[in-house]
């Protein structure tokens, strides 16, 4: 806990909204959980890296690769991408110091803190208007785009923010969640190069005996593109958050 507090003080983000809305503390908590769940999350990270390298094989030219939701970088095969591509652009709302020091080792890797929904500035003041993002669509050197465990996360903090600070109803939150997911899909489809979407498809909660308690759709009822490969991510091993509950998510890879 003390360590997480120290990280909150020592890590900075260029985007004050990201800090205020809770994205920085969420990244710190996620990094701590990744350490605690090293074994089960490691398999998921390896699968993500494999999928990105498969996507890279499909990319005819290798000028620029754009990774959206790069976050901790644990799921990015950075060394290989940096040798394969002229330029590696890693985008997230928040990069912790740990990710910054990894990225610094590569001269052609750029970390960019950016709100990929292009809507948070308005949502932050209670205006639930979702834009279709435009960033990098005019960069014709981008041969590969990876959306990395990001799309289903886009609505979570914004919807919670509007419910807690602006008395939004669950129904209003639901509409915003769907809009954010659809806008990201549309955005990905607007690129000319190869696009690889890695995202969870389903979450299942179990009790201590391994019996299923609940099953939920992280896509807010939006139909995800067909996955060409999937795996189980043991997101919450028993005892991580609750000693009587665990959660596994099915993660899928699509090429758009």
Ligand X SMILES: C[S@@+](CC[C@H](N)C(=O)[O-])C[C@H]1O[C@@H](n2cnc3c(N)ncnc32)[C@H](O)[C@@H]1O
* Interaction site with ligand X (CB under 6 A): 23, 27, 69-72, 74-75, 92-94, 115-117, 120, 148-150, 153-154
List the structure tokens of 60: 């005819």
**Cβ closest to ligand X, residue 74 vs residue 248:** 74
**Cβ closest to ligand X, residue 94 vs residue 111:** 94
User: Contact, 64 vs 91, CB < 8 A?
Assistant: no
Q: How far is the CB of 184 from ligand X (least distance, A)?
A: 9
**Cβ closest to ligand X, residue 120 vs residue 143:** 120
**Cβ closest to ligand X, residue 92 vs residue 194:** 92
The DSSP string of 57-117 is HH-S--SEEEEET-TTSTTS-HHHHHHHSSEEEEEES---HHHHHHHTT-TTEEEEE--TT
Q: How far is the CB of 60 from ligand X (least distance, A)?
A: 25
Quick check: helix, strand or coil at residue 8?
helix
**Cβ closest to ligand X, residue 36 vs residue 244:** 36
Q: How far is the CB of 192 from ligand X (least distance, A)?
A: 22
Q: How far is the CB of 61 from ligand X (least distance, A)?
A: 24
- 120-159: b (≥16 Cβ within 10 Å) or e: beebbeeebebebbeebeeeeebbbbbbbbbbbbbbebbb
Q: How far is the CB of 174 from ligand X (least distance, A)?
A: 18
* Nearest CA-CA partner of 143 in 194, 108, 189: 194
């Amino acid at each position: 806990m003390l360590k997480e507090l120290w990280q909150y003080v020592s890590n900075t983000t260029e985007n004050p909204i990201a800090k205020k809305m809770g994205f920085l503390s969420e990244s710190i908590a996620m990094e701590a959980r990744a350490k605690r769940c090293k074994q089960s999350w490691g398999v998921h990270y390896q699968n993500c890296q494999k999928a990105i390298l498969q996507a890279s094989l499909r990319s005819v030219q290798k000028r620029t690769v754009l990774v959206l939701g790069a976050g901790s970088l644990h799921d990015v095969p950075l060394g290989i991408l940096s040798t394969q591509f002229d330029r590696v652009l890693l985008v997230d709302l928040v990069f912790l110091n740990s990710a910054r020091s990894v990225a610094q080792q590569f001269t052609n890797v750029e970390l960019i803190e950016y709100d990929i929904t292009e809507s948070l500035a308005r949502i932050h003041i209670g205006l639930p208007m979702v834009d279709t993002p435009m960033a990098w669509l005019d960069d014709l050197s981008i041969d590969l785009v990876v959306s990395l465990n990001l799309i289903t996360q886009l609505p979570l903090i914004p919807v919670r923010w509007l419910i807690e600070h602006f008395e939004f109803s669950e129904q209003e939150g639901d509409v915003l969640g769907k809009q954010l997911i659809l806008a990201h899909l549309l955005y990905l489809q607007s690129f000319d190069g190869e696009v690889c979407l890695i995202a969870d498809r389903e979450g299942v909660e179990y009790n201590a005996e391994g019996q299923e308690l609940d099953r939920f759709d992280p896509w807010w009822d939006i139909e995800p593109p067909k996955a060409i490969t999937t795996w189980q991510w043991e997101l919450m091993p028993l005892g991580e958050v609750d000693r009587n509950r665990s959660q596994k998510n099915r993660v899928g890879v699509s090429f758009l």
